[in-house]
Structure 1
């Protein structure tokens, strides 16, 4: 098994000491954001990482993003550890990936980490944000409209995109 994993990692992906992620700007940034938009449309779920002061906590959430990728939308029941963590500390990260839990993932999978802060959705924007979210997740309409559900947005500061297992680029939004 160990040899299978080693052979799935191309030689050029061996970690290079001191290599830092490249920040995309200009046309490269625009192209990367277009790729991310399509990637996000293809994925239904993401892993949300919150912090309670002593340890990180991760949860699976259904998500959607606005067209400019400035916000990621998600909903959660208010009576959850995740929600309590968000009230205490709005800084979060969210992982969106397309892994299939196969050896090929080391070469083919893409993982995007969004870093930002969670904010409530304001009354004036709720209608449009709900439309965006429910276009992707129509089965969640009753859950979203429940009084026990919090509908939230992450104001994204930066995306970190990892492809080919170790190729890392960053883009600020």
Structure 2
């Protein structure tokens, strides 16, 4: 199952981040990077955004990846994966590895990553739920490894 999760994370360059505000669920399209053990997803944002406010007020988030093509074949071969976890802001140098990984995966983020008001987050994933078509579903719980 770990290889299936890693494959979908590697294939996609964006995911949908669901945060919770006073008015309900908010969805944000995000670039990301991930740890080798799949236990963390890294993201960056400008500080003055609704997503940052939401995460600071409620760190519980859900992430969604999929491989939709917009064709009917998605009904049987489409894959969707949710990651459920807690976000934490990275500060005092803890953001440096996330910064490096994000730029390695997403060179187009260079301007964002050098903005004076950029903030970095790590989402610790408690579990992934992966579905293919209507019949296959699996859960994967990453185990953080000590380097």
Give the structure-1-normalised TM-score.
Answer: 0.77
Paired residues, number: 142
Name segments (4+ residues, structure 1) moved above 6 Å.
none
Residue 37 of structure 1 corresponds to 6
> Which has the larger share of strand?
2
Q: Is the aligned partner of 1:121 residue 2:80?
A: no
Q: Is the aligned partner of 1:96 residue 2:33?
A: no
Offset of residue 96 of structure 1: 0.7
> Which has the larger share of helix?
1
SS at match of 2:36: coil
Q: Is the aligned partner of 1:51 residue 2:15?
A: no
Distance 2:135 2:25 in 1: 24
Note the residue ranges of structure 2 that are not aligned, 5 or more in a row: 143-147
Residue 83 of structure 1 corresponds to 52
SS at match of 2:108: helix
SS at match of 1:161: strand
Offset of residue 126 of structure 1: 2.6
Distance 2:62 2:135 in 1: 19
Distance 2:126 2:95 in 1: 21
Residue 151 of structure 1 corresponds to 120
